[in-house]
Amino acid sequence: MALDFYWYPKCGTCRKAKKWFEEHQIELNEIHIVDNPPSQGTIAELYRKSGLDIKKFFNTSGKKYRELGLKDKVKTASCEELIQILASDGMLLKRPIVTDGHKVTVGFKEENFEATWL
């Protein structure tokens, strides 16, 4: 079964992750995170299954994050508010986000991918 792979093709980290999956012959269902961003419900489900803090889903190095001044907002907003913000623009999401419907990884760290996806 293919993994859902939310990515942005111009993102170097996403390309490295995709290459890792190709090298390990793992099938991906590629979802362009900007053209086809996950809904609030999907983000909430990914967050719940990931076991991560919701703040880990933000692309904190992104231009959009800085433009919207989210650094301070993220500290005080409720989880529901943060999910709404994330769903408003795919560029706000840290990428890639990978899921098999049970497990979720956010970003790309080879050791994390090996532990989760092999």
Strand ranges across the sheet with 28-32: 28-32, 3-7, 97-99, 104-106
Mean pLDDT of 56-66: 95
Q: How far apart are CA 14 and CA 108, in angstroms?
A: 7
Whether the pLDDT of residue 1 is over 90: the answer is: no
pLDDT in tens, 76-103: 999 999 999 999 999 999 999 999 999 9
Confidence label for 16 from pLDDT (cuts 50, 70 and 90) = very high
Q: How many domains does the chain have?
A: 1
**Rounded to the nearest 10 degrees, how much is the dihedral formed by the CA atoms of 74, 16, 104, 106?**
-10
* Domain range enclosing 82: 3-117
pLDDT of residue 74: 93
pLDDT of residue 87: 97
pLDDT of residue 22: 98
Tokens coding 44? 């909430």
Q: Kindly give the interhelix angle for 12-23 and 110-117, rounded to the nearest 10 degrees.
A: 40
Peptide bond into 38 cis (omega under 30): no
Mean pLDDT of 4-22: 98
CATH number at residue 63: 3.40.30.10
